[in-house]
Structures are given as C-alpha cells and as structure tokens.
Structure 1
Amino acid sequence: MSAKADSSSSGIDIVKLVLAIIVLIGGIVGYYHFADKSLIYRVLGVLLSGLLSMGMVLTTQLGRQFLGFLVEARVEVRKVVWPNRQETVQSTLVVVALVFLVGLILWTLDAGLFWGISRLTGQGK
C-alpha cells in the first residue's frame, strides 16, 4: 500500500517539477516578449516566476530533501571552530611570505636556466 502512495507522490512530484520549469521559462520568455514595457516590471515578473517555481519545487520530496540538507549544513557550519583575528592575520602573512619565497626560487631557477641555455647556444657573449 505504501509503495503505491510513494509512486503516486513521485508522479505528483514530477508534475510539480515540470510545472515549475514551465513557470520559470514562462517568466524568462515574458521578459523578452514584453521588451517594450518598463524594465522594472519585466524584472519583477522574472523574480516572481522564479520565486513561484522555487516554491513549487520545495513542495516536492526533492525540495524537502534539499531543505533538510541546508539545515544540516548550517548545523555543521556552527560546529566549525573558526580562527580568531590574530590567527587569521598570522596565517595570511605566512602564506604571503611563502608565495614570495617560491616566486623568488622560481625566478632564480628561470634566470639560471636562461643564462645556461644562452651560453650553450652562443647567444650570451
């Protein structure tokens, strides 16, 4: 019995998703169709169709799963131990110093190879 309910709800979900896509495409087509109208009305139409289609998608099983994912992601972000200002500044300075050091090493290597190759080819008199 529950398998039948799941299949009918997934069928309804597919219809909702298709309708949401149609509404969104309709908003975009309307934006270009009413090119002679004010820009603010056309943008509001696209935003309204986007919000309406998003609302339709969120009523599906896929939309509910997405909302659950967002809630879980927010919980995980709150669990993260973020560095304080001093740690952030120190880490940034270390990264800048290492980038400078690697750049200096690569420049030295490039200059040395250039000098060696120019000597080998006879261009460095």
Structure 2
Amino acid sequence: MASSQVETVSTGAEKAKLGAALLLVVAGVAGFYLLGRQGAVAQWGALALALIAAVGVFFTAERGKELAGFASDSWREVKKVVWPTRKESIQVTAYVFAFVVVMALFLWVTDKTVEWVFYDLILGWR
C-alpha cells in the first residue's frame, strides 16, 4: 500500500527561516563570549534570548511545524501506553534479581567444576 504523504520541496523562504534560526544560535553563542566583561547575567541573557528567538523562528518554518506535529503525535501515543502498576513493577524487578542470582550461582558452579576437571583430574596441578 503506497503512502499518501507528499514530500514538499523547500522554498527560498523556508531556507531563509532555517538560516535565520541558525544565525540566531551563532549570534547567541558569539554574544555570550563577547559579553564576558559585562557579567554573567548579560552573557546568559544574550544567549537565552538568542536561543528563544531561534526556536521561535525555527517553529515558524515547515520543518519546525513538522517537528511540533511529530512531538504532539508522540505524546498522544505515550498517553495510550498501559503502564504497569507499582506491584507489577516490584514483582518483575524481583524476578530479574532472582534470575541474576541464580545465573551467577550457576556460572560460578560451572566455572569451579571445569576448573576442577582440568586442573585436578586431567593435569594434576594441585
């Protein structure tokens, strides 16, 4: 069955929006370092404002809208998940721990048995 989605071609305006968002990020980082003598508040303020503006510009572009739609759909799917109860989580965790202990004992016994067979019986090193 073929997908009914149509892939759009980026227009000049879309590329300009993405470029502007990228330039705002670069300007924010540059401003952070250039405002070193002005104090931490000015540095972090410039960075925060530039990043907020970059995010705003990005979400006006088509790719930003697609990302927002994807995030919305993902959140809707997460809400559909049936999460285990506290009791179920504790029981499964206990089963995992018990299995780990049993496997550790099994591997230890196997290792000691192989060691005994090779070193004591076959080679007689002890």
Deviation at 1:116, TM superposition (A): 4.7
Identity level (%) = 29
Distance 2:31 2:93 in 1: 48
Residue 51 of structure 1 is matched in structure 2 by 52
Query: Which amino acid in structure 1 is aligned with residue 82 of structure 2?
Result: V
Query: Which amino acid in structure 2 is aligned with residue 40 of structure 1?
Result: V
Check if 1:64 corresponds to 2:65.
yes
- Count of aligned residue pairs for this structure pair: 118
Residue segments in structure 1 that go unaligned for 5+ positions in a row: 1-5
After TM superposition, the score normalised by the length of structure 1 is: 0.79
Residue 4 of structure 2 is matched in structure 1 by none
After TM superposition, the score normalised by the length of structure 2 is: 0.79
Distance 1:75 1:21 in 2: 30
Distance 2:20 2:118 in 1: 66
Kindly report which structure 2 residues correspond to 1:22-101, keeping only aligned pairs within 5 A, or say none. 22-101=23-102
Query: What is the root-mean-square deviation in Å for CA atoms of aligned residues?
Result: 2.2
Higher helix share: 1
Distance 1:101 1:109 in 2: 12
Deviation at 1:56, TM superposition (A): 0.6
